[in-house]
């Protein structure tokens, strides 16, 4: 008997959506595109499938997952939406925003996915392939980024394949993603809290709420509120040096805008997140370019400064994690 250790990759189609649906229904693991990054999906109501998912990603089990649903109505079956949560859902869903809300009595999401918390993180993705799979299944789907824990998040099906081939059942290839950084996570508590900067800029959320978002306050030694806060995360193998104003010979350069810093001529390779300094374009390129530069094993990756407004907050957050000391 031969054992198939490779994972099927299907181009997005109605047939691929059906295959994904039956695979998820049977407790399988399916990677699929969302507008932010590729997600690794499992039936959120199936504890055994979720246990396999943690194993495939080699993810610390205390890190809770986001439940993805097709629309607000499905979201309200698993989470309780107060006025602020409702306002945010109506303004930004479907889209790159995750809301953490109290679970409903009848919440079907497995305890393993919420790490035993009384709250659940919910997102309604906009990507047509994600939408089609969620509608076909009619159940919430947990989907962390489809990479091994600690690696750079995947923005193409090829990235997913490189990280998870043989460890998951299926990859649906919907081409490169458009947003490129993970969803913004807002905790809808008494005062809404920004738990993770992401694809919806803080400014846009604050404009809808008419008030500033609070910063999370993790009690010392406590389990992280949004363990996206684990310090080294999104880590390339090469050392990453931020706010570089010059390039050392042999370093790769992750540039942003023009002009390039002194020493760029001697860089092993230069990739510009956005020649024109456009933050939306930069977010879409971020993870793919980090992977591409890292692939050539440079002596290090120098990163030019990136502004901190709009999507720049999420970009700088991910870059800071990529540069953080490794465990």
Q: SS3 letters for 108-133?
A: CCCHHHHCCCCEEEEECCCCHHHHHH
Between 4 and 43, how does the x/- string for binding to Mg ion read (CB under 5 A)?
A: ----------------------------------------
123 binds, among Mg ion, ligand TXA, none (CB under 5 to 8 A by kind): ligand TXA
**Residue corresponding to tokens 């993180």:** 121
How many residues touch ligand TXA under the rule CB under 6 A: the total is 30
109 binds ligand TXA (CB under 6 A): no
Structure tokens at 89: 């859902």
Q: How far is Cα 217 from Cα 197, in angstroms, rounded to an integer?
A: 15
Q: Could you tell me which residues come within 8 angstroms of residue 324 by beta carbon, excluding any fewer than 6 positions away? A: 231, 232, 233, 235
Q: Is residue 176 part of the contact set for ligand TXA (CB under 6 A)?
A: no
**Number of chain positions touching Mg ion (CB under 5 A):** 1
Binding partner of 120, given Mg ion, ligand TXA, none, CB within 5-8 angstroms per partner class: ligand TXA
Q: Take residue 10 and report the two structure tokens written for it.
A: 């299907």
Residues in the chain: 327
The region of 56-64, 137-145, 170-178, 304-312 touching Mg ion under the rule CB under 5 A is: 137-145
Upstream peptide bond of 218 is cis (omega within 30 degrees of 0): no
Which 182-221 residues touch ligand TXA, going by CB under 6 A? 182-183, 185, 195-196
Find which of ligand TXA, Mg ion, none residue 39 binds, CB within 5 to 8 Å per kind: ligand TXA
* Residue whose CB is less far from ligand TXA, 125 or 298: 125
Closest approach, Cβ 88 to ligand TXA, in A, equals 15
Smallest separation, CB 87 to Mg ion (Å) = 27
Q: Which stretch binds ligand TXA (CB under 6 A): 22-30, 118-126, 203-211, 284-292?
A: 118-126
* Helices 279-295, 312-323: crossing angle, 10 deg rounding: 20
The CB-of-32 to ligand TXA minimum distance in angstroms stands at 9
Using CB under 5 A, pick the residue from 46, 98, 145, 316 that binds Mg ion: 145
- Sole binder of ligand TXA in the list 63, 178, 268, 280 (CB under 6 A): 63
Does residue 29 sit in helix, strand or coil?
coil
Provide φ and ψ at 310, rounded to 5°. Answer: 55, -135
How many angstroms separate the Cα of 87 from the Cα of each of 82, 92, 107, 206, 224?
A: 9, 9, 21, 11, 26
Q: Is 100 in the site for ligand TXA (CB under 6 A)?
A: yes
98 binding Mg ion? (CB under 5 A): no
Q: Does 145 bind ligand TXA (CB under 6 A)?
A: yes
d(CA 184, CA 90): 15
Phi, psi of 141 (to 5 degrees): -125, 125
């Amino acid at each position: 008997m031969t054992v198939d250790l490779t994972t099927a990759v299907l181009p997005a189609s109605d047939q691929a959506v059906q295959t994904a649906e039956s695979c998820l229904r049977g407790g399988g693991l399916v990677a699929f595109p969302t507008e932010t990054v590729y997600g690794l999906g499992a039936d959120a109501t199936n504890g055994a499938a979720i246990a396999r998912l943690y194993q495939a990603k080699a993810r610390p089990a205390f890190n809770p997952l986001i439940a993805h649903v097709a629309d607000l109505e499905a979201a309200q079956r698993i989470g309780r939406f107060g006025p602020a949560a409702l306002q945010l859902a109506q303004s930004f869903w479907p889209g790159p925003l995750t809301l953490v809300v109290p679970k409903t009595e009848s919440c079907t999401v497995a305890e393993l996915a919420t790490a035993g918390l009384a709250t659940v993180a919910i997102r309604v993705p906009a990507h047509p392939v994600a939408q089609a799979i969620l509608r076909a299944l009619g159940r919430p789907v947990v989907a962390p980024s489809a990479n091994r824990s600690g690696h750079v998040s995947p923005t193409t099906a090829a990235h997913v394949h490189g990280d998870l081939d043989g460890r998951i059942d299926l990859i649906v290839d919907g081409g490169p993603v458009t947003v490129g950084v993970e969803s913004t996570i807002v905790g809808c508590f008494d005062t809404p809290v920004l738990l993770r900067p992401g694809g919806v800029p803080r400014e846009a959320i604050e404009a809808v709420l008419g008030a500033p978002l609070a910063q999370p306050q993790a009690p010392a030694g406590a389990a992280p509120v949004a363990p996206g806060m684990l310090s080294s995360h999104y880590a390339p193998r090469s050392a990453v040096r931020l706010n570089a104003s010059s390039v050392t010979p042999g370093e790769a350069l992750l540039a942003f805008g023009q002009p390039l810093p002194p020493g760029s001529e001697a860089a092993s390779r230069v990739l510009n997140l956005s020649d024109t300094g456009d933050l939306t374009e930069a977010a879409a390129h971020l993870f793919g370019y980090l992977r591409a530069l890292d692939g050539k094993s440079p002596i290090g990756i120098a990163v030019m400064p990136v502004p901190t407004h709009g999507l720049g907050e999420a970009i700088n957050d991910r870059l800071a994690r990529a540069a953080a000391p490794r465990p």
